[in-house]
Amino acid sequence: MIEVDAWIDSSLFHIGRFVAARAEAISIFMRRRLTAKGAWRWLTEILGDGMTLASLGAVLILALALPAFDATRVDWRSQGDFAVTFLDRYGNEIGKRGIRLDNSVELEEMPDHLLKAVLATEDRRFFVHFGIDLWGTARALIENLRANAVVQGGSSITQQLAKNIFLTNERTIERKIKEAFIALWLEANLSKNEILKLYLDRAYMGGGNFGVEAASAFYFDKSVKDVGLAESALLAGLFKAPTRFAPHINLPAARARANEVLTNMVQAGFLTEGQVIGARRRPADVVEQADAAASPNYFLDWAFQQVKAQEGLFDRVLTVRTTIDMNLQAAAEEAVESSLRQFGDTFRVRQAALVAMEPDGAVRAMVGGRDYGESQFNRATGALRQPGSSFKPYVYATAMLNGFTPESVIRDAPICIGNWCPRNYSGGYSGSVNLTRALVKSINTVPVRLAEAIGRDKIVDVTRNMGVTSDLRITRSLPLGASEVTVLDMAAGYSVFASGGLKAPPHAFTQMLNGRGDVIFDRRSDVPQPDRALPEPAVAAMNEILAQIPEWGTGRRAKLDGIRTAGKTGTTSAYRDAWFVGFTGNYTAAVWFGNDDYAPTRRLTGGRLPAQTWKQFMSFAHQGIELKAIPLIEDPGIEAAPSPALAAGPEAGAARQINLSTATTQRLRRLKVLLESRRPVPPAAASLEPNTVTGFLQSTPDDVATP
C-alpha cells in the first residue's frame, strides 16, 4: 500500500510539472505572437479600456432600464377601458374619464393637415428617429442656452407618449431616464403609426378632454374628421400647454399659438405660405363652454382610480355620484391660487395642495396643484412630503394612550440621541412644561422625549390606525415629522379627531350606476360602519389641546371668527414644506405649500400661507350651514359665521356678547395652562433626562407665538 501511495504521489507530481511546463510554453508563445508593439500597442490598450468601460456602461444602463421597464408591465392598452360619467354630490355632471364612446377615429380618417400640424410643431423628425431625437434634443438645448430659458422642448412624440401613459410630469432626472428607456421600448413594440395614434388619443387637450377627437367635439362641436386647417392648427397648439392655450379660457392666446403652428408647417416644408394665408386671416372659432374651466380634474383623476380599484365590477359604462361639492371646490381653488398669486414670489413657493373632507371621510374639495393643464401630477394624493410639526399630534395621541395626560409635565431641555441633537425653533428652552403648552408652542424636544419613553413603533402603529397609509420610516426624527406622507393622508388622520375617534377612510363616491341605470354600489349599504381608531378620552384630551393652537399658539392665522377651530402647523428643515392641518365640527382640511423640486422657500412656515389659505377656504365652507361642535370638548358657544346681510342691531349685539364671553374663557384657560406649566416635575417625567449635548441640528421649525 505504501508503494501504491508513493506511485500515485509521484504520478501526480509529474503530471503537474508537465502541465505547468506546457502552460508556460504556450504563454511564452502567445506573448511572442500576440504582443503588440509601437502604435499597435496603444491601439490595443485603447480598445481594451474601451471594452471595459463599455461593459461597465452596459451594466449601468441595465440598472437604469429595469425600473423603467417595470412600469410597462401594467395593462396599459386597456387603461381607459372604463367609460365613467361623474356627478357631483347633488347629481350634476362634472366630467368624464376613460374612453368616450364616440372618440375612436382611425389615423387614416384624420385630416392630413392635422397630422402635419402636429408633426411640424411637436416632432418633425418623428418618422426618422428611433424614439429619441438626438439632433432635436441638441438643437433645443442650444436654443435654451441662447435664450437663458426654456423656449424649446427636446422630447420626441414617443417620449411624450411614454410620459402620458406610464409616468408623471415631475421634472426629475429619474423621470427623464425612465422616459427615454420607455420610448425605446415603445419604438421596439409598436409601429410609428400606432405610436402617433396613441399620442393623438391620450394627450391632454384642456377642459378635461383627452385626445383630438374629444377636444374637437368639445371646442368645435364636430368630429376631428371634419376640422379645417385653422382648427387643426389650434388643436396642434394645445399639446404644449393645454390650459394656457385652451380657447375657451384664452381665445387670443390660442389663436396666437395656432399662428405659430402655421409658421412651423411652412418652415417644415409641409405647406407653403400661400396655403396657410387663409387660415391666418380666418382663425378658428370655438363653441361656448362656460363651465369647462371649473372641472375638478385632480379630483376626477383620483375618483377614476378609486372606481377602477373597486372589486367585482363587470360593467364598463358607469355613472358615479361623487362626494365633491363644486362650491367648496371653487372656493378651495380660489384660496390656493390667490395665495400663490399674492405671495408666491415673496416666499419663493410655486405649488400647493389642499384636501377638504367631512369627518366621515367624504372628500368635498381637492386641489392637486396650481395648474392641471401644466401638470397633471396630483400633489394631494401622489406627492410624499415631510409633514414637519403637523405630525406631532400623532405622537401626543400615542402618549395619551400610554398614561400621559395634557397636564403631564416634561422637561424642555437639550437632548441628544447619538449625534442627532434636535433643538427648538426659538433656539431656547422653557424648562418644565406640560404637554398642552408643549404642543401649542410646537416645542421640538418634548415629542422626542415622548418617543423615547413610549417607543416609536407604537407611534407608527397609532398613526397607521388613524388612516395614514404612507410607509412611515422608524427613525430618530420620526416624532418631528421626517417621514413623508401625502396631503390626503394628513386630512384622513386629523379627521379621526374631528369624528370623535372613528376612522375616516377618504372616499370619492357614494353611489355607482351601470349603463342601464341600476345601482351596483351604494356606500350606505355596501360599506360597514367605521371602526374606532382612538378611545374617547384620548380624543377629548387631544381636541382640547389642538383647539388652543389657533387661539394662542402657532396657528393663530387659521382661527375662524366665531367658530371653534383646532389644528396644527408644520414646517420642515430648510423651509421646504409648509403645512396647516385643522378641523372644526363640520370639516377637516389639510393645506400644503412647497416646490416640486424640493427647493427651499423663503422662510415660509405653516403658520403663514397654509394657515391663511386654510382660513380663507374654511370661512367660506362654514357659511350658511348648521355649525357643529368639535367632539368631546367643552365649547364656550357656537355662533354662525358672519354674513354680509347682518347689519348692526340686536343680533349683532348678541354676537358681540358671545365673542366677549368666548375671549374671557380663552384667557382663563390660557392662564390655567401657564400656571400648570410651572408645576414641579413628577417622578415619571423627571426620569426623561437629556443626554449630554454634543451639538445641534436644526429640526422642524415653526412659527414662534407668545401667549
Q: Is residue 18 part of a domain?
A: no
Question: Which residue has better confidence, 128 or 293?
Answer: 128
Q: Is the pLDDT confidence value at 619 over 50? A: yes
Same domain for 246 and 380? no
Same domain for 502 and 618? yes
Domain boundary among 294, 315, 331: 294
Q: Is residue 211 part of a domain?
A: yes
- Distance between CA atoms of residues 260 and 369, nearest Å: 28
| Max Cα-Cα span within the chain | 127
Same domain for 257 and 358? no
Q: Is residue 136 part of a domain?
A: yes
What average pLDDT score do residues 498-521 get?
A: 94
Quote the pLDDT of residue 696.
29
Side-chain-facing half-sphere of 113: CA atoms under 13 Å: 21
Read off the pLDDT of residues 365-397 as tens digits, 9 standing for 90 and up: 999 999 887 888 999 999 999 999 999 999 999
Strand partners, 422: 697
Q: Which domain holds residue 668?
A: 349-508+528-686
Same domain for 356 and 215? no
User: 476 CB contacts (<8 Å, ≥6 apart)?
Assistant: 417, 418, 420, 448
Proportion of the chain above pLDDT 90, given as a percent: 59
Same domain for 598 and 534? yes
Q: Is residue 430 part of a domain?
A: yes
Same domain for 263 and 362? no
Note whether 297 and 63 are within 8 A (CB): no
Same domain for 290 and 357? no
Q: Is residue 40 part of a domain?
A: no
Read off the pLDDT of residues 149-189 as tens digits, 9 standing for 90 and up: 555 566 899 988 888 877 766 667 777 788 888 888 899 88
Mean pLDDT highest for which of 1-15, 130-144, 271-285?
271-285
- Distance between CA atoms of residues 565 and 498, nearest Å: 10
Quote the pLDDT of residue 641.
40
Read off the pLDDT of residues 298-337 as tens digits, 9 standing for 90 and up: 999 999 999 999 988 888 789 999 999 999 999 999 999 9
Same domain for 180 and 264? yes
**Environment class of residue 456 by beta-carbon count within 10 Å: exposed (0-12), middle (13-18) or buried (19+)?**
buried
Same domain for 570 and 478? yes
Domain boundary among 278, 294, 310: 294
Range in 102-116, 227-241, 342-356 with the lowest mean pLDDT: 102-116
Total structural domains within the chain = 2
Q: What is the CATH number of the domain that holds 229?
A: 1.10.3810.10
Of the candidates 132, 135, 138, the residue with the CA atom closest to the CA atom of residue 158: 132
Q: Is residue 170 part of a domain?
A: yes
Q: Is the pLDDT confidence value at 81 over 80? A: no
Same domain for 502 and 370? yes
Q: Is residue 263 part of a domain?
A: yes
Same domain for 374 and 285? no
Q: Is residue 4 part of a domain?
A: no
Question: Which residue has better confidence, 6 or 169?
Answer: 6
Mean pLDDT highest for which of 208-222, 362-376, 422-436, 452-466?
452-466
Same domain for 390 and 456? yes
Proportion of the chain above pLDDT 70, given as a percent: 82
Quote the pLDDT of residue 164.
80
Q: Is the pLDDT confidence value at 699 over 50? A: no
Q: What is the CATH number of the domain that holds 565?
A: 3.40.710.10
Mean pLDDT highest for which of 63-72, 177-186, 325-334, 674-683?
325-334
Quote the pLDDT of residue 162.
86
